[in-house]
Amino acid sequence: MNVPEKTMIPEVFESRKRKILAELSIPDAEYTDLSPKGSVDEGIRVLINDINALPGLVTTSSCAGRISVFLEGRKKQHQVLSDEQQRQFVPSGGKGAGKWLYVSHEPLEDDGKTQDQERQRLHEMFGMIPGDGRPPGLNKNSQAPRLVRFSFEPMILHIMTATLHHAHPVLSAASTSGFRESGLQSLRCLEADDNDGPSPIVAVRSAGLSLESVIGYCEENEDDDQEPVIHSLVTEEFLEMLVAISNERFSVNSERKERFRTNLLDLCSPVRTHGVKTKGKAKPPGWEDPEKRRERMRAEGLLRKQLMENQRKEKDIDLDSSVPSLEQ
């Protein structure tokens, strides 16, 4: 049987996929990327492995979801960094000229400390000192303060696909699983002759679960050698509320992630891939045609009849054993 042209995988995609999978096979201790964590999140590895096992698909970047506290940066004017300086800075500091103060790809659980010990637990964890809640004014250069932002971000996943035909089930699974802001990263893949061009990349994402709040600011130091002082603008109770909301959204995020995995594997199953389609609307999970249903109900009826017969025989035996013997 000839493979339909629309399902053929270009060699340029296969080459790109082999290179990506080779990088992912590097041990965690040696593998780094541009994220603050520097490696694939534990909570998304199963999904990534399942996707990369499918023909015509490969993941290029991912985040299982995270809680983060980020200090904004301020770019210095007329500062030009060399390529070597940029490479050294990006993996270690965060994004732009800012700094990651805290990052967790799992819910932030209670550590079991007493009430007195836990009074400023989150402030200490996020590298802030309690403040009076009053924002500072402009600095001597008439600049606004650098802010500290608390964020919860749900799963985001970028999947390179061999063709638009391979991208379709990814978009469909994402949309039906709650990742409604998903879409193609670039329209260059719509060009007519694209066998050697860019492969379509689908971004699986959802903005509905995102959460962001300003929680502090950075006090500027005249001496650049001194560590900056980061003041809080909120109470410990406010931070606890943000963490509780984020933990709840972690749970919803996990459900959507598993739903996406199930839907994608179903849409990319061999039966669907080879063009076998059902008439009318898509069948719900667990659907069976009338003939199979009759066979199943008949088998279940025979099984129930056999069980009832066995129970009746056991009951007769019990009654016989309970009657006293007339023999002397």
Q: Which residues of the chain have pLDDT under 50?
A: 1, 29-34, 78-79, 81, 84-94, 114, 192, 276-281, 326-328
Residue 102 token pair: 């805290």
How far is the C-alpha of 141 from the C-alpha of 324, rounded, in Å?
A: 107
Rounded Cα distance, 193 and 94, in Å: 39
Shared-domain flag, residues 310 and 167: no
In a domain, 325, yes or no: no
Is 0.75 surpassed by the pTM of this model?
no
Phi-psi region of 275 (alpha: psi -120 to 50; beta: other; left: phi over 0): left
pLDDT at 86 (0 to 100): 45
10 Å Cβ neighbour count for 268? 20
Number of structural domains found in the chain: 2
108 and 198, same domain (yes or no): yes
In a domain, 297, yes or no: yes
Assess whether 32 and 124 both reside in one domain.
Answer: yes
The residue segments making up the domain with residue 315 are 290-320
Task: Evaluate whether residue 282 is within a structural domain.
Answer: no
Pair (152, 299) in one structural domain: no
Indicate whether 156 and 215 sit together in one domain: yes
For 179-210, what is each residue's pLDDT tens digit? 999 998 876 666 645 555 678 899 999 988 99
143 and 224 part of one domain: yes
Domain contains 280: no
pLDDT at 241: 96
pLDDT of residue 143: 78
Do 111 and 178 fall within a single domain?
Answer: yes
279 assigned to some structural domain: no
Residues 59 and 129 in one domain: yes
Share of the chain above pLDDT 70, in %: 63
- What CATH number is given to the structural domain containing 70? 3.30.1960.10
